Amino acid sequence: MAQPVTVPYVSLGEVKEYLQINSNTYDTRISNLISYACSVVESYVGREIKNNVYTELYNGGTSQVFVSRLPLNSVKSITEYDGSTHKTLIGPSSDGSFVSGDFDTSTITSTAILKTRRKKFGESSVYFNGSAFISANDPETGNPKFDFQSDDFTIEGWFRFEDLSNTKAMVSRGDANTKIELSYSPYLGVNFRALNSDTEVANVHHFTSTSSTSSYYVPKANSFSHYALSRENNDIRLFIDGTLVKTQSTSNSLPSISVSTPLHLGKTGVTGSENYFKGYMDEFRVTIDAKYTSTFTAPTTPNATDENTVLLLHFNGKNNNSTLKDDSRTTPEYIWNSETGGIRRYNAGVQGVTDISVIPETTFRNFPRGVKVTYDAGFTIIPRDIKVATLDYIKILHKQTQENAGFSLQGESGKSHGLSANFPPHIRRVLEMYRVVM
What is the C-alpha to C-alpha distance for residues 219 and 203, in angstroms, rounded to an integer? 19
Single out the residue in 269, 304, 330 at which a domain terminates.
330
Together in a domain, 129 and 206:
yes
Q: What angle do CA 207, 209, 214 make, to 5 degrees?
A: 95
Q: pLDDT tens digits for 233-243?
A: 999 999 999 99
Are residue 304 and residue 361 in the same domain, yes or no?
no
Amino acid at 260: S
CB 292 within 8 A of CB 149: no
Q: Which pLDDT score, from 0 to 100, does residue 128 have?
A: 97
Query: Within this chain, do residues 158 and 217 fall inside the same structural domain, yes or no?
Result: yes
Q: Indicate if 205 and 342 belong to the same structural domain.
A: no
Nearest to 63 by CA among 338, 418, 337, 403: 337
Instruction: Indicate if 343 and 266 belong to the same structural domain.
Output: no
- How far apart are the C-alpha atoms of 368 and 238, rounded to whole Å? 45
Classify residue 4: in a domain, yes or no. Answer: no
Q: How high is the pLDDT of residue 215?
A: 47
C-beta of residue 158 within 8 angstroms of C-beta of residue 282: yes
- Residues 415, 366 share a domain: no
Residue closest to 65 by CA, chosen among 345, 352, 302: 345
Answer yes or no: is 78 within a domain. Answer: no
Same domain flag for 134 and 159: yes
The amino acid sitting at 160 is R
Which amino acid, one-letter code, is at 35?
Answer: S
Do 121 and 263 share a domain, yes or no? yes
Per-residue pLDDT at 358? 55
Phi/psi for 199 (5° steps) reads: -100, 125
Torsion of CA 401, 404, 406, 407, to 10 degrees: 20
Does the residue 141 lie in any domain?
yes
Are residues 42 and 105 both part of a single domain? Answer: no
152 is a domain residue: yes
**pTM of the full structure:** 0.84
Query: Does residue 256 form part of some domain?
Result: yes
CA 349, 354, 359, 364 dihedral sign is positive
Domain that holds residue 280: 99-330
Q: What is the pLDDT of residue 18?
A: 94
**Cβ-contact 343, 75 below 8 angstroms:** yes
> What amino acid occupies position 253?
S
Q: Is residue 60 part of a domain?
A: yes
Residue 81 located in a structural domain: no
- Separation CA 112–CA 172 (nearest Å): 16
Question: What is the pLDDT at residue 67?
Answer: 94
Per-residue pLDDT of the chain (438 residues; tens, 9 = 90+): 444 556 899 999 999 999 999 989 889 989 999 999 999 999 999 889 999 999 999 999 999 999 998 899 999 999 999 898 899 999 999 888 888 877 889 999 999 999 999 999 999 999 999 999 999 998 877 778 899 999 999 999 999 999 888 899 999 999 999 999 999 988 888 999 999 999 999 999 876 543 333 445 567 789 999 999 999 999 999 999 999 989 999 889 999 998 889 999 999 989 899 999 999 999 999 999 999 999 999 999 999 999 999 999 999 999 999 999 999 998 899 999 998 999 999 876 555 444 555 556 789 999 999 999 999 999 999 999 999 999 999 999 888 877 665 444 444 444 544 444 578 999 999 999 988 765
Number of domains in the chain: 3
SS3 labels along the chain: CCCCCCCCCCCHHHHHHHHCCCCCCCHHHHHHHHHHHHHHHHHHHCCCCECEEEEEEECCCCCEEECCCCCEEEEEEEEEECCCCEEECCCCECCCCCCCCCCCCCCEEECCEEECCCCCCCCCEEEEECCCCEEECCCCCCCCCCCCCCCCEEEEEEEEECCCCCCEEEEEEECCCCEEEEEEECCCEEEEEEEECCEEEEEEECEEECCCCEEECCCCCCCCEEEEEEEECCEEEEEECCEEEEEEECCCCCCCCCCCCCEEECCCCCCCCCCCCEEEEEEEEEECCCCCCCCCCCCCCCCCECCCEEEEECCCCCCCCCCCCCCCCCCCCEEECCCCCEEEECCCCCCCCCCCCCCCCCCCCCCCCCEEEEEEECECCCCHHHHHHHHHHHHHHHHHHHHHCCCCCCCCCCCCCCCCCCCCHHHHHHHHCCCCCC
Q: Residue 152 and residue 401: Cα distance in Å, rounded?
A: 56
411 shares a domain with 326:
no
Per-residue model confidence (pLDDT) at position 290:
96
Answer with the one of 270, 300, 330 that is the final residue of a domain. 330
Same structural domain, 324 and 344:
no
**316 within domain boundaries:** yes
Q: Are residues 287 and 365 in the same domain?
A: no
